[in-house]
Amino acid sequence: MTETTAGPRAAGSGLDVRSRIILLTVSLAALALVVAGFVLWISRTEQVDNAIDATLERTAAELSDWVYASDGFPDTAALLREAMRTEVPAENEAIVGFLGGNLFVVQGTITLNLLDDPEFLAHAAPLTTGDQAYLYTHSTQSTQYRFAVVPVRVGDTPPGALVLAFDRTAEHIEVRSLMLTFLWTSAAALSVAALAGWLLAGRMLRPIRELREVSATITERDLSRRLPVRGTDDLSALARSFNGMVDRLESAFSSQRQLLDDAGHELRTPITVVRGHLELMDPYDPQDAAETRDLAIHELDRMHRLADDLVLLAKSEQPDFVKVRLTDVGDLTSETFEHMKQLGNREWFLAESAEGMFPLDEQRLVQAWLQLGANSVKFSEEGSRIEVGSSASPGEVQLWVRDSGTGVGEEYLATIFERFNQVDSSRGGAGLGLPIVAAIAHGHGGRVDVASLPGVGSTFVLRLPVPQSGSEAHPHALEWQQHGGMQWPTS
């Protein structure tokens, strides 16, 4: 049994978009030219036929008037001779006279001589015996004629008639020439249009071609390629959307890789410590077993905290990491200050408290603020002074902690918010506290500023952008409150 697998359409198995656009455009243009050519041919043919009929009718009327106004002719034959002598046929026109149904006299031109077409003369002869004037069309093996029969008669002499004939085929040569010119002109115009369309379509579809080429080169290991953005049309919007999508993918992959790297790096140490103590533990010694158990629980607790911090940092890259609600900054300050006083035996002092309702994520800010407080406790002496406060200025809320601890050297300020970067590893911790604070500030669209002097202390300030005048200045303040918060834009 043969198995078949459905797969992508093979390259080259059909026309590409560029070719289909040109084919459709040229086909529509060709159809329009065909319709225009048909209308032109009908119109010009009708114009030529109308001109022939008008000439025949005018000449027949002039001959009829001349015949009825003439007198003194002894018979019909004399009248026919005089009429033929006075009437000069035009190009592609000939005049013949019939007497008693028989050919009597012929007057032709260089372009038309009816004696050369006996088939036409045989057809016209029976029509000359009546007494009514008519217009006829007749085709022979040689050509097609449009002719008029004008009866004449003098007294009781045998009746006669003048036949005025136009070579209709020759008269339409100009129409055929015009249509041939139209055909070649249309073909040239279609060729130029196809070439111009091919070049223009190639230029217009270049972003799509670049999109295909770039997307084919993007892998989970290389997300650096981007599309060039040109102009402000729909295709440039597509390029911007694609670049934004790749940016998000790159950020997601980078966050995943960093999480794996961080977890592998930081979790390896406590695992090694626990395993080493378990391997050296004497299971028959209760004291050794108890000490090893306590150490293992301590290391597992540290691993648990580390894992929680890493997960939190990974979530900080997600768009819903920060969920803002209208928050009373004064209440937030007082409640957080009460929590901070439980962090350590320090001289805690609430220096300032802002007032007002602002769109903030209260839970995340409490977490970040407490982390700053814990950091100040870690790097300060027991009983030293730590100040906490908040303030509001137009467009910004500041939450700060100031201590009189060891301070941070200038060489560490540039990297203090990087993961696992510790100024003094002997103080404990995994070096993830300040990166978490920075991630929460960044989630609000803000930042963390630090000012520090070694031996004097440090001041950490969360700067968070808010509407200019709190809840009163923002038209959606009530909507935020009723719908459980809206995501604040991130930078």
pLDDT tens for each residue of 20-75: 888 888 899 899 999 999 999 999 999 999 999 998 888 888 877 777 776 678 88
Average confidence (pLDDT) over 471-481: 36
- Does pLDDT of 482 surpass 50? no
Average confidence (pLDDT) over 163-191: 90
**pLDDT value of position 110:** 66
Q: Which region holds residue 389: left if phi is over 0, alpha if psi is between -120 and 50, else beta?
A: beta
Could you write out the three-class secondary structure of 373-425?
HHHHHHCCCCCCEEEEEEEEECCEEEEEEEECCCCCCHHHHCCCCCCCCCCCH
**pLDDT value of position 480:** 34
Average pLDDT, the chain: 78
> How far apart are the C-alpha atoms of 329 and 388, rounded to whole Å?
13
CA distances from 162 to 56, 63, 66, 94, 95 (A): 12, 9, 12, 10, 7
Q: Which span out of 50-59, 291-300, 418-427, 436-445 was modeled with the highest average pLDDT?
A: 50-59
Set out the domains of the chain in order of their start, with CATH numbers.
21-175 (3.30.450), 234-315 (1.10.287), 325-482 (3.30.565.10)
- Does pLDDT of 147 surpass 90? yes
- Does pLDDT of 490 surpass 80? no
> How far apart are the C-alpha atoms of 458 and 416, rounded to whole Å?
12
- Give the model confidence (pLDDT) of 179-222 as tens digits: 999 999 999 999 998 898 888 888 777 777 777 777 777 766 66
pLDDT band at 488 (very low <50, low <70, confident <90, very high): very low
Bridge partners, residue 134, by sequence:
149
CA atoms within 13 A on the CB side of 374: 16
Give the residue, 213 or 345, on which the prediction is more confident: 345
The single-letter code of the amino acid at 329 is V
Cα–Cα nearest to 365, from 319, 330, 333: 333
Cα–Cα nearest to 235, from 214, 210, 204, 212: 204
Average confidence (pLDDT) over 372-390: 87
- Give the model confidence (pLDDT) of 211-259 as tens digits: 777 777 776 666 767 767 777 777 777 777 877 887 777 776 776 666 5
Average confidence (pLDDT) over 406-415: 72
**pLDDT value of position 261:** 63
- Does pLDDT of 376 surpass 70? yes
Tell me, rounded to whole angstroms, the distance of Cα 380 from its chain centroid: 58
The two structure tokens encoding residue 186: 């249309």
Chain position carrying tokens 């190009």: 91
Q: Is 353 exposed, middle or buried (0-12, 13-18, 19+ CB in 10 A)?
A: middle
pLDDT band at 419 (very low <50, low <70, confident <90, very high): low
Give exposure, 201-216, as e/b (b: 16+ Cβ within 10 Å). Answer: beeebebeebbeebee
Average confidence (pLDDT) over 364-384: 85
- Give the model confidence (pLDDT) of 21-31 as tens digits: 888 888 998 99
**pLDDT value of position 10:** 44
**pLDDT value of position 315:** 65
**pLDDT value of position 11:** 46
